Structure 1
Amino acid sequence: MEHRLIKHGFILIFLALITGLVIPAAEAPRLALSAHTIALMSGILLLAIAGIWHRLVLSERQLKVTYWGWIYSSYANWFAILFGAITGAGRMTPLAANGMTGTDFSELVVAFLLVSLSLAALVSASLSIWGVARKS
């Protein structure tokens, strides 16, 4: 799984670079800048997780949950904020959106993604901490 984490880390960094090019064209440029930054940080996070993956003492099932939680939360975070930047959906991110709001549907999509990715990240972070702590 380390190789796949590395691959996804670099894909997210690439997506961050592409996102940086569209910042001026976005409905909410500050949200687009946030999406750019999130993709960079998520890519680096996945590279770091790949570096310690072999140290996680977890069952196969726990490793899969951890892996998919990190992958989902990384991509969903980037996409949710980029989607908000394109559609102007900013209820969940009022500071970065500068008070903009989108259609009810776009706001619902962003809210669903942000809430679900937060839960996935919490589960993955908890399992990662537990997996590393069990090693020592």
Structure 2
Amino acid sequence: MADDKRSLLWHGTALFLIGLLTGLAEQHFTNVRMGLAAHLEGVMNGTFVLAVGAIWNEVWLSPRTKAVAYWTLLVGTYGNWIVTTLAAVLGTAALSPITAVGHEAEPWKEAVITAGFAFIGLAIIAAVVLLMFGLRSTAKPQ
């Protein structure tokens, strides 16, 4: 359990650093606004993973459910940065009308990014629901 907490703290810090580095490169993306979004996703998701790491011992779930929450959280947060960065590289407008003004990529690229955002959105929602379930007042320590 302590290893998972330290791992989440490490991953949160790593994702935060990835976000900072993305910010240094945002001017080189096909869609600069989406590059800014990728920078923010890295920083914000890294901060979120750090926060979850800080409360990890208070999340009371069965070992299996807690493992699902752990991996869903990491897939969702890293995936969010990856898909947003890929959208910036490809210059897509998928699901991001504000950051994609003046951009539209080939249909297959738009489809890949749309599917990526849909999958990642579901993963993060699942992780948060599991975390909330493990933090409810009636949860029992496992």
Q: Distance in 1 between matches of 2:47 and 2:82?
A: 17
User: Where in structure 1 do 4 or more consecutive aligned residues deviate above 3 Å?
Assistant: none
From 99, 102, 105, the counterpart of 1:96: 99
Structure 1: runs of 5+ lacking an equivalent: none
Structure 2: runs of 5+ lacking an equivalent: none
Q: Distance in 1 between matches of 2:83 and 2:101?
A: 16
Structure that is richer in helix per residue:
1
Is 1:86 the equivalent of 2:89? yes
Q: Distance in 2 between matches of 1:99 and 1:61?
A: 46
**Pair 1:99–1:91, CA change in 2 (3 A):** farther
Deviations 1:87-133 (A, max 9, x none): 10112111111141112222122112111111111111111111001
State the SS of the aligned residue for 2:47. helix
**Percent of aligned pairs with the same residue?**
28
Q: Decide whether the 8 Å contact of 1:56 with 1:131 is kept in 2.
A: yes
Once the 2 structures are TM-superposed, how far is the Cα of residue 51 of structure 1 from its aligned partner? Answer: 0.6
Q: Decide whether the 8 Å contact of 1:80 with 1:113 is kept in 2.
A: yes
Q: Decide whether the 8 Å contact of 1:56 with 1:132 is kept in 2.
A: yes
Q: In structure 1, what is the equivalent of residue 80 of structure 2?
A: 77
Q: What root-mean-square deviation, in Å, do the aligned CA atoms of Structure 1 and Structure 2 show?
A: 1.3
Q: In structure 1, what is the equivalent of residue 129 of structure 2?
A: 126
The letter for the 2-side match of 1:52 is I
Q: In structure 2, what is the equivalent of residue 41 of structure 1?
A: 44
Once the 2 structures are TM-superposed, how far is the Cα of residue 135 of structure 1 from its aligned partner? Answer: 4.1
The letter for the 2-side match of 1:10 is T
